Amino acid sequence: MPKLKSLEDLKRVREEAQQGLKVRVETGTRIIVGMGTCGIAAGARDVMRAILEELDKRKIEAHVETVGCIGMCVREPLVDIEQAGRPRVTYGNVRPDMVPRLIEEHLINGRVVDEWVVGRLGG
């Protein structure tokens, strides 16, 4: 039987995480998932889970955050991707099966997936 995770184990994770923490905070990518009632009912939690799984699979160290409702409920689940020096892009009606392409195109190839965009901010 594999050893269960413990807080002792978390200390080791902390030491690993401390290396390179600064680099990521300064140049990092942020992915923000709307998690109001509207988002949750539309499947936002499972979109978040798909994003976390895809990032882990591809070893991409992006920050993922959840926020409340921003008022565009009809387009939920909403996912914003923000990268230093580029406009913040909002994707709407995101489903878990869209996540691999979103990560591949936007984060890896640096190309916005225009057909899924519902808004842009700044840049």
Asked if 13 interacts with other proteins (CB under 8 A), we say: yes
Asked if 62 interacts with other proteins (CB under 8 A), we say: yes
Asked if residue 78 lies in contact with residue 40, where contact means CB atoms within 8 angstroms, the answer is no
The number of residues that bind other proteins (CB under 8 A) is 36
48 backbone dihedrals φ, ψ, rounded to 5° = -60, -45
Among 58, 68, 111, 121, binds other proteins (CB under 8 A): 68
Structure token digits, residue 44 = 């936002």
Q: Which is nearer to other proteins, 97 or 114 (CB)?
A: 97
CB neighbours of 33 closer than 8 A, spacing ≥ 6? 39, 44, 47, 48, 51, 64, 65, 66, 67, 77, 78, 79, 80
Asked if 21 interacts with other proteins (CB under 8 A), we say: yes
Interface residues with other proteins (CB under 8 A)?
A: 4-5, 7, 9-11, 13-14, 16-18, 21, 32-33, 35-37, 40-41, 44-46, 48-49, 52, 55-56, 61-68, 71
